[in-house]
Each structure stands twice: as structure tokens, then as C-alpha cells.
Amino acid sequence: MIDDQKSKQKLIEEAAEWIVLLSADDDLTKKAAKMDFDAWKSMSPQRQKIAQDIEHYLYSIQKLVQTPQQQQMTQSVLKAGLQSVNKQKNLRYGSLFAIALCSLGGIYTYLAYHPIAYLTADLKSSAGEWMTHSLNDGSTLKFRGQSAVNVHFSANQRVIELVQGEIFVDVAKDQVRPFIVQTQHGQIEALGTAFSVRYQPELTELKMLHSKVKVQTSHFVKEPSKPSSVIVSAGQEVTFNGYAIQPIHDLNIHNEQQKWMQGQLIVENMPLSKVLTELDQNSRTKIIFKTDQLEKIQVNAVLPLDHAENALKLLNSVFPQLKIYQITPYLTVVTTQ
């Protein structure tokens, strides 16, 4: 039994070392580490399982790290985390994945909650907060969770630049100045309306509650199968990136209104992975999970967005196979292993 524990601890320490090496900013170091890592994980099924968790963790970090300064800071935090792992010889946790995250979770807390665009934004809300702000034209912005915008109003147009998170917009009419919400993926021109917009690094999501808007991608691509502009009406939702707009889908307006007006998440046959993404938007604690592990679990529920911990407990009571680890006050891991 003691030998098994020592072997397990050794694998944990090796896993932490791989996380540091595979996230190096030196391409040669990273390439050499990748070859050695492939050989290491092929030595046993247990190592292959740990390798899957490492690869998922690194992918999550790569999505958050966007600047050289953040890359340098990432390396410092990861190395500090490695030293912490090496000091922890007798701790017991539910999974190797949770153990690795325990000491390295600081990188998530900093990068996920304090990107430069958020810190320098004109208007921003805090984690777990709902904030309403009235603009000088009479329009209203409602912020959900840690969200941020820059405001660019001129004599010719009204532009809201969404740099992080999700907002609900109630637009005041102005015959002279169009109202536009911009993300790095494109822009949404309102035609006197109410809608919500969520920005993520890989895509922008629009949900229409009233009237209609015109969506246009930031890069014009002349391909019939990939429209670069489209009109979206009330009761519809759509996602787009800088090059293409995805097909329009029907939106349950009542459910979207309940989210913004009552702080309730009403889901019908929604994959658990998407439910956790929604809860994470309002949570003061970063919720980490593996999408491919949870996306096949379908959820039908009414969940409190303002109390993510209670929502997770409710989900756990319905799906007892879930394991929820409170790694730090700022980091929660949800898994089935």
C-alpha cells in the first residue's frame, strides 16, 4: 500500500513537471518535451489517463494566455506550482487531475479574471455581479458576471466595444446615430431593440429579444456558404467569428428574459458542459471541467445563477456520478472520475 502511494505521488510530481515543460515559450524546448512526453505516457494506462488531464489543462491555459507578458507570468506561476507539488507528500485527493490543479490553480485565477482588456475597460462588473448602467443617450447596459466594455460615442454613431463577458442591451432610438456593439469577431448594428451579446475568444453569441439587428463579421469572406452579414430578428440566436456566421436558431425568449430579469437559468435538454459554462459566467469561483466528459449528460432544470454553489449541489443530487472538488476558494473542478 505504501509503495502504491509513493508510486502515485511520483506520477503526480512528474505530471506537474510535464505541465511546466510543455508550456515553455521556447519552441525547441517545447518540441523536445513533447517527444519525451509521448514516450512517457505510452508506458502505462495510468500515465495515459494523467496525460489526458495534462493536455486538457494546457489547452485551457493556451486559451487564456494571449500576450508575451502573460506567457512570462504563466511560466513563473507554473514553476512555483511545481515546487508546491513537490512539497506535498502526504495529501489525499479524489483524483490526480484535482491534485495537479490544486497547486497550479493560481494561473487560472489570475488569467481568467484579470486580463488587460478587462482591467483597462471603461465599464466593468465584478465576478458574480449583475450591474446596470445607463448611457448618456438613454440606452441601458446590464452586465453579467465579470464583463467589460469600452464606450465610443460620437456625433455620428454610438459604439459599445465588448471586450469580455456578456451584456444585455436596451437601445434608445436615435434617428441620426446608429447603435453598434463590436467584438473582435464583428459588429451588431441595432435597429431600435433589446438583445444580449456574449463574447468569447473563439466566437460571439447574439440572442434577440425584441426587434432586429444586422450582424456583420470583421472580415468579409465572399463565400455563399459562409455569409458575412445577416439580419437576426426577435426570437432568434446566432453565433459568429471573424470570418463566418453560423446558421440562425430559434431562441426561447422567456428563458432568456428569466436569466436577465430574475437571475434564473432555465435549461431544457442542455448538455451539462453548457450548463457549467453558464454557471461559470456568474460564479465567483472559476469552474473547470472537461467538455467531452460531460457533454453527453442532458440537463432539465431551473438553477440559481447567483448561487453557483447551490446550483452545483442541485446538479450533484440529480447526477450522483459527478464529483465536485473545491480546490481553492477561487477554483472548482467538476468531473465524473
Indicate whether 8 and 70 sit together in one domain: yes
Question: Are the CB atoms for 192 and 138 separated by under 8 Å?
Answer: no
Helix, strand, or coil (residue 210): strand
* Whether residue 23 has pLDDT greater than 90: no
Provide the phi-psi class of 269: left if phi over 0, else alpha when psi is between -120 and 50, else beta.
Answer: left
- Mean pLDDT over residues 246-257, rounded? 96
Indicate whether 247 and 165 sit together in one domain: yes
Question: Are the CB atoms for 266 and 302 separated by under 8 Å?
Answer: yes
* Whether residue 139 has pLDDT greater than 70: yes
Burial 90-106 (b: 16+ CB within 10 A, else e): eeebebbbbbbbbbbbb
Q: What is the CA radius of gyration of the chain?
A: 22
Is 166 contained in some domain?
A: yes
* Whether residue 214 has pLDDT greater than 50: yes
Indicate whether 184 and 272 sit together in one domain: no
Is 36 contained in some domain?
A: yes
| Residue 114 pLDDT class (50, 70, 90 cuts) | low
Indicate whether 143 and 236 sit together in one domain: yes
Cα-Cα-Cα-Cα dihedral sign, residues 248, 249, 250, 252: negative
Q: Cell numbers of 296, please?
A: 453527453
Question: Are the CB atoms for 14 and 40 separated by under 8 Å?
Answer: yes
| Residue 37 pLDDT class (50, 70, 90 cuts) | confident
Is 208 contained in some domain?
A: yes
Can you give the pLDDT at residue 212? Answer: 95
Indicate whether 81 and 12 sit together in one domain: yes
Bridge partners of residue 151, in order along the sequence? 160
- Mean pLDDT over residues 227-245, rounded? 92
pLDDT 10s digits, 154-203: 999 999 999 999 999 999 999 899 999 999 999 999 977 899 999 998 99
Domain span at residue 106? Answer: 87-113
Can you give the pLDDT at residue 56? Answer: 63
Q: Cell numbers of 133, please?
A: 448602467
Is 70 contained in some domain?
A: yes
Question: Are the CB atoms for 74 and 65 separated by under 8 Å?
Answer: yes
CA 289 – CA 60 distance, rounded (Å): 10
Indicate whether 129 and 205 sit together in one domain: yes
Angle at 105 between CA 145 and CA 331, to 5 degrees: 40
The fraction of the chain above a pLDDT of 90, given in percent, is 48
* Whether residue 35 has pLDDT greater than 90: no
Distant-in-sequence, close-in-space partners of 273: CB < 8 Å, separation ≥ 6:
289, 291, 294, 295
Is 276 contained in some domain?
A: yes
Instruction: Tell how far CA 88 is from the center of its chain.
Output: 30
* Whether residue 330 has pLDDT greater than 90: no
Is 257 contained in some domain?
A: no
Question: Are the CB atoms for 171 and 192 separated by under 8 Å?
Answer: yes
Is 47 contained in some domain?
A: yes
| Residue 267 pLDDT class (50, 70, 90 cuts) | very high
From the CB of residue 329, how many other CB atoms can be counted at a distance below 10 Å?
9
> H helices within 65-115, ranges in order?
68-87, 96-104, 106-113
Can you give the pLDDT at residue 53? Answer: 62
Is 200 contained in some domain?
A: yes
- Mean pLDDT over residues 275-296, rounded? 90
Bridge partners of residue 206, in order along the sequence? 197, 238
Element (H, E) at 130: strand 130-134
Indicate whether 12 and 43 sit together in one domain: yes
- Mean pLDDT over residues 70-75, rounded? 51
Indicate whether 92 and 77 sit together in one domain: no
Least confident of 48-52, 111-115, 310-314: 111-115
State the CATH number of the domain containing residue 219: 2.60.120.1440
* Whether residue 291 has pLDDT greater than 70: yes
Pairing of strands 286-289, 331-335: parallel
* Whether residue 8 has pLDDT greater than 60: no
Indicate whether 70 and 43 sit together in one domain: yes
Indicate whether 91 and 159 sit together in one domain: no
- Mean pLDDT over residues 314-333, rounded? 87
Can you give the pLDDT at residue 128? Answer: 87
Predicted model pTM: 0.68
The 8 Å CB, 24+ separation contacts for 78-84 are: 78/19, 78/20, 78/23, 78/104, 78/107, 79/20, 80/106, 81/16, 81/19, 81/20, 81/106, 81/107, 82/16, 82/17, 82/19, 82/20
Can you give the pLDDT at residue 118? Answer: 83
Indicate whether 136 and 44 sit together in one domain: no
In degrees to the nearest 10, what's the CA dihedral of 315, 311, 330, 322? 0
Indicate whether 214 and 227 sit together in one domain: yes
State the total domains in the chain.
4
**Distance separating the N- and C-terminal Cα atoms of the chain:** 21
CA 184 – CA 197 distance, rounded (Å): 13
